[in-house]
A = this chain, B = another copy of it.
Amino acid sequence: MPSEFELIDRYFSSAAAEAADVVLGLGDDCALVQPPATDELLANSTDTLVEGIHFLPDISAEDLAWRLVSASVSDLAAMGARPLWLSLAITLPDSNEAWLAAFSRGLKAALKTYSIRLIGGDTTSGSTRVLTAHVQGAVKPQQALKRSGAQVGDLVFVSGTLGDSRAGLELLTKAVEESVVAEFLTQRFLRPTARIELGLRLSPLASAAIDISDGLLADLSHILKSSGVGALVHLEQVPLSSSIKALYSREQSLAWAASGGEDFELCFTVPEYRQAEIESLAEELKLELTCIGEIRTGCELQVLFEGAPWAPSGAQGFDHFGQGESR
């Protein structure tokens, strides 16, 4: 059986790209990196995926690597930060080399997609697979997309379509006939796209942002709480993909869009006078950016569906220790 050191050499050193700002990469007590210019701040985020909680035991190693990197990098997107470095802690029950080779392939592809460099990590054994990524990025202080900047009168936007990831998970856990629409939804779950470019372009425009990991309403609530404001959301304006509409009822789709989570789209607030700039940006990035409501006084999140109050059934976001839905 190869040793921990041989495994690191074989599957992770090759994923660590050479980069001018990585002075010393894997293989010493610490990695050494050149920090960005002092007019930029470092954005730091940590994400853990646990087998049986965040991913199904039979997920492919490539998909798992992709999900881990995307979920982590998505927090940089939500801050408007440019990705720099990723550190990876990985706990595995055994050193299955075919699995590691596939994981390494997925890791390299994801790192390349997001232009983020693997600089270190730790590999350990344990009965359950647990993966933690720590990511760092750079952002100018005045352009950081904090949750706390939403102002009364701002418009609430979301990127892309919502609910797809939750629908994709549903399809993966049921025996469903293969189809193009099913494939689209399962890929949205397995291979989410972090909206890095959108975050960078929004950073001078938006007043607040968050990535949709817990669910639209739960994540928007975080913005409201941090900003000390309320909001009105028109649920029928929440964008749904043609795939989710083809397979599920409108009611089910909107419930997942509202609270399914893990779409890794961005929810952001923008001063009303910037609406035209957001529309231009959507065209330029070829990405739907949809206004779904507005920021109001108070602290309440009011959700209307075609003008009437919408009563979510089990619509809270994912919460690991609380009453949230368990998957």
Contacts and interface: CB of A to CB of B under 8 A. Distances in A.
Interface of A: 1-7, 23-24, 27-38, 40-54, 75-76, 78-79, 81, 85, 87-89, 91, 94-95, 119-128, 130, 132, 134, 137, 139, 141, 144-148, 209-211, 226, 319-324
Copies assembled: 2
A85 B136 CA distance: 12
Given A130-B91, A321-B1, A141 B23 contact: yes
Closest 6 pairs (CB-CB, A-B): A3-B322, A35-B35, A30-B43, A29-B78, A50-B126, A134-B134
Contacts of A145: 29
Name A's interface SS. mixed
21 contacts: A1-B321, A1-B323, A3-B321, A5-B322, A23-B141, A24-B144, A24-B146, A28-B146, A29-B75, A29-B78, A30-B75, A33-B44, A37-B38, A42-B42, A44-B87, A45-B120, A48-B89, A48-B91, A123-B320, A125-B320, A132-B132
Contacts of A141: 23, 32
A35 B41 contact: yes
Given A2-B322, A323-B1, A42 B35 contact: yes
A121 B44 CA distance: 9
Contact of A53 (B40, B46, B79, B124): B124
B46 A121 contact: yes
B127 A128 contact: yes
A40 to B, nearest CB: 8
A46 B89 contact: yes
Contacts of A137: 30
Of the candidates A30, A50, A321, the one having the most CB atoms from chain B within 10 angstroms of its own CB is: A30
A42 B42 CA distance: 11
Contacts of A6: 322
